[in-house]
Amino acid sequence: MVALLVLSVIAACAQPPAITLQDGVASATDNGLAVFEYHFGADLPKPFIHPLNTPSGQPVTMASPPDHVHHRGLMFALGNVAFAGEEAQYVVFWGEAGAPERLGHIIHVPGSERIEAPDRTPQRVVLHTRNEWRRLSDHALMLTENRRLTLYHTGDATRNLLTWESELTAPTRDLTLGPTEGRDVSYYGLGLRTPREMDGGAIFDANGKEGEQAVLGDDARWCAYVGPNEPKRGFVMFDHPSNPRYPTGWFVMSAGFGYMTASLVCHQPFPLPAGKPLRLWYGVCAFDGAPTPEQVERWYREWLTLEP
């Protein structure tokens, strides 16, 4: 009875997940601890999350390293977007350097940011935003995006959990969303760059495959990355069954630097008719420790109950 009372007091004192907005940054906390910062300022070529922290406060992301300045923490972007029939003139929203007619920015719509805190168990908080994907040379609007970031209070002191939802619409003309040119496995999609101390980590997926070479290009419902150093930390990405091409293909790297992308266009282009929304739903879990595949599978199943 005493133990139950203590647990009840702890639960009552816990601070629910919250998001605050200031100067183009949305700061998310759970139980008063920093979980992530979402950057959407007008001077950015694309909005992104950095840092994304484990419950102990350790980041699993790195933003704009010198070797790839366009790697901005946890980000959603595509690098081969073209009007149908004009695929040779595709526009890059992934990279940040190049000729203006071949380069685009993902631009946050000022004033679209909105915080929603539903009364629901488990507790959660939601950030709603809108983006416009525009070609730099003529500001042509190629995509509109409704983006939703949800932070959950899981009650598990070893992991932070968020959902990333992007709803993309081609407003005027049919589009082709292409894979990475010259690669067998595309890295466009929801991507995460790890900090240096997590380079050389262990990668495994829901199919039981382990290691960079085995997982690269595999289609799986989730994929996990654990850094090599003590104390262990890492992250896992979840693919939702409602997504097109479920289970998604994965781009992964461990040697050289750590990277992971859940890629809709992992293997082939995706046609997007004008006016037809494309909704993509992913979970991202930043954890302390080194979970087993069985644990990650349980986390995935729990996430599906939160995002049915």
| Domains assigned to the chain | 15-306 (2.70.98)
Cis check for the bond before 59: say yes or no (omega within 30 of 0).
no
Q: Parallel, antiparallel, or unpaired for β 104-108 and 175-177?
A: unpaired
- CA separation, residue 271 to residues 28, 122, 258 (Å): 35, 37, 30
The DSSP call for residue 195 is P
Alpha helices in the chain (DSSP H): 2-13, 212-215, 293-306
Query: In 3D, which of 218, 306, 209, 202 has the Cα closest to residue 261?
Result: 218
Cis amide linkage into residue 231, ω under 30° from 0: yes
Q: Helix or strand or coil: residue 87? A: helix
- Res 4: pLDDT: 32
pTM for this entry: 0.94
Three-state DSSP at 164 gives strand
Other Cβ atoms less than 10 A from the Cβ of 101: the count is 13
The DSSP result for 88-131, as a single string, is GG-BBSS---S-GGGBEEEEE-TT--EEE----SS-EEEEEEEE
Phi-psi region of 90 (alpha: psi -120 to 50; beta: other; left: phi over 0): beta
Which pLDDT value is given to residue 119? Answer: 67
pLDDT for 11: 42
pLDDT beneath 70, residues of the chain: 1-13, 119-122
CA atoms within 13 A on the CB side of 110: 5
Q: What pLDDT sits at residue 8?
A: 34
| CA angle (287 as vertex; 285, 292 as ends), nearest 5 | 95
The pLDDT value recorded for residue 2 is 31
